[in-house]
Amino acid sequence: MSLFETAFAKINLALHVRERMPDGYHRIETIFAFCEDGDRLEGEAADALSLAITGPFAEGLGAGEDNLVVRAARALQAETGTTAGAALRLDKRLPVAAGLGGGSADAAAALRLLSKLWNLTIDFRTLCEVARGLGADVPACLFSKTARGDGRGDDLRTIEWSPFSGIPVLLANPRVPLSTAVVFAGWDWIDRGPMPDEATAGRNDLEASAIASCPQVGAVLRRLNDLEGVTIARMSGSGATCFALFEDEDARDAAHVQLAGLQPSWWRLASRLR
């Protein structure tokens, strides 16, 4: 029997950087939201644990013990004591180092999939702790629902009723990877204040640093802001992917076609928020 999970693409509707903490992490305030689309992870029972990677963004990705999917599986084995294996196949549809939580979303999908495949009785709170040990964004990706993140981003408060659910979204990436560490290191240390109650009134405090490292981010933002029907355009996470929210799907689809004509080399994804 084969199971599959979607590793939903993550965006940050807003991301406020408040300070750098003694442990080197930055204290942030963010609103996570997730698209209906993303990478796809399949798995079936096997004697040993293995991972194969395919898809448009598979090139250069290792499938060994350092891969977050494999690390998630090993962490789950260690937590539960299971010796079960799995043959995992990752269809890598999202660009790498793109501010979409790709690796974190893949790890979270592995935790969800393997919990079912291995018939584990692990409770969700414990699963969240396993996720937290894999990376700051993995707990949010485990939920894959709109949530507020504080601290490193892993102090989560889920938003049971999200006003963003179903909103059409268009993602665009200039196909330039950006290092999260480099972008955070370029933050200017200025605390510009807390997250407002309305996420769309917020900001992404990493945009200036990302544009300094990758000027194409600024070009993406300008293009998105010029499209008709856009209600908000912003960079996601540490970039280089940017997103635009739209009034309706017709406006998004028209913008998608227009953007494809203007910038055919950019990666694009038309989706909706979950």
List active site positions.
10, 137
Q: Which residue has the tokens 């991972």?
A: 51
Q: State the Cα–Cα distance between residues 11 and 80, nearest whole angstrom.
A: 31
Other beta carbons less than 10 A from residue 71's beta carbon? 18
State yes or no: cis peptide before 140, omega within 30 of 0. no
DSSP, collapsed to helix, strand or coil, labels residue 177 as coil
Q: State the Cα–Cα distance between residues 204 and 187, nearest whole angstrom.
A: 11
Q: Which residues contact 225 (CB under 8 A, 6 or more apart)?
A: 233, 244
Q: State the Cα–Cα distance between residues 185 and 26, nearest whole angstrom.
A: 10
Q: Which residues contact 175 (CB under 8 A, 6 or more apart)?
A: 95, 265, 266, 267
| Six-digit token string for 242 | 């940017």
> By the 8 A CB rule, do 68 and 29 touch?
no
Phi, psi of 39 (to 5 degrees): -65, 160
